[in-house]
Amino acid sequence: MTSITILNGIVPVFLLIALGYGLKKSGFLPLNVWPPIEKFAIYVLYPGFLVPAIWHANLSGFSTGPITIGVAGSVVIGAAFGFALKPFLKLSGPTFTSVFQGLIRFNSFVFVPVAASIFGPDANSLSAVAISALIPASNMISILVLARWGEPEGGTPDRTPLWFVKTLLTNPIFASCLIGLFLNFLQVPDITFAEKALNMLGEAAIPTGLILAGAGLSFGYVWRRPVLVGLVSLFKILIMPILAWSICYALGGDRMAQGIALACGAAPCAAAAYVQARHMGGDATLMAGIVALTTTLSAVTMPLLLWLFHLV
């Protein structure tokens, strides 16, 4: 695959991110408009992509196991690394939660269109399988860490097992994965009108999500703690993709599965991590800096890693 093909697959993604950043900075839309758009994208548009993609994914396919274990395994290893470092880091509880999220959270809005552009439409189903492993693993661990070390302004809620389950089930991306898996396992046949409606929503999800990712960037926070933000960001966009690829490769995943695992790992930290930090008492400013820097650097590191590992 030529370098032009790589650029054609990745540049449009980051152009839309840049567009979102420009729209937010220019004041083209009032600041209070962006949160409702983000909520609409996450609760309405993105399920339109995830549900049918997982519903019709071949979960018994040869590459399903390697990519699922590769992506989830990298999250578990990254989390273990974060826990192992904690005794040696002189950080407050909230700061540790944001460092931790920075290591293991992935922005699927970025890697999904990159994978589809490079590997074709068939990559969507495999990307959805990766997301169905990634979202539960990263969300469950992050919620547990925030519940333990976060310090919400309004005081710590009664974090019972029921609260934990409710928090997971009300996450729209997690719920969409569950619905898609439920339909897949029951082998529910196509419901044409419903699927067409979902697909129409799904087609709008990715570009909207990329614009929102750009609008959420806050570079001012990077310079408040540049060393900490830089180290966490480099681990996220360099070490995590190599972990995901290594596991997928060791388990015999094919070229597409390896490429998607690597792209998934190389994706920047999810903007949702900032929202979660703000709501559950994490260090929201540090989280914003990590999201901004990983998003910027991944524009270079993602294509570079795909090229170095001969996956494009």
- pLDDT value, residue 178: 87
DSSP SS3 for 253: coil
Predicted pLDDT of residue 236 = 97
pLDDT at 62: 64
Tokens of 287: 């989280």
| Angle ∠(192,197,198) on CA atoms, nearest 5 | 100
Question: 288: how many CB neighbours lie within 10 A of its CB?
Answer: 25
The total domain count for the chain is: 1
| Cβ atoms of 215 and 21 closer than 8 Å | yes
The region, left, alpha or beta by phi > 0 then psi within -120 to 50, assigned to residue 27 is left
Instruction: Provide the pLDDT for residue 154.
Output: 65
- pLDDT at res. 3: 61
Residue 243: how many other CB atoms lie within 10 Å: 21
Q: What's phi and psi for 225, nearest 5 deg?
A: -140, 70
Per-residue confidence of the chain (312 residues) as pLDDT tens digits?
556 666 777 888 889 989 999 999 999 999 999 989 988 988 899 889 888 888 887 777 667 899 999 999 999 999 999 999 999 988 999 999 999 999 999 988 888 888 888 888 888 888 988 988 888 888 889 988 988 898 877 666 667 788 778 877 888 888 888 898 899 889 888 888 888 999 899 889 889 988 988 888 888 888 888 999 999 999 999 999 999 999 999 999 999 999 999 999 999 998 888 878 887 889 988 998 999 999 999 989 999 999 898 877
Q: In the numeric block, which tokens belong to residue 271? A: 């903007």
Encode 28-71 in three state secondary structure.
CCCHHHHHHHHHHHHHHHHHHHHHHHHHCCCCCCCCHHHHHHHH
Gap between the Cα atoms of 220 and 270, Å rounded = 18
The whole-angstrom separation of Cα 247 and Cα 223 is 34
Please report the pLDDT score of residue 109 as a whole number. Answer: 81
* CATH number, residue 297: 1.20.1530.20
Indicate the pTM of the whole model.
0.85
Rounded to an integer, what is the distance from CA 76 to the centroid of its chain?
15
Q: How far apart are CA 289 and CA 309, in angstroms?
A: 29
Range of the domain at 198: 3-308
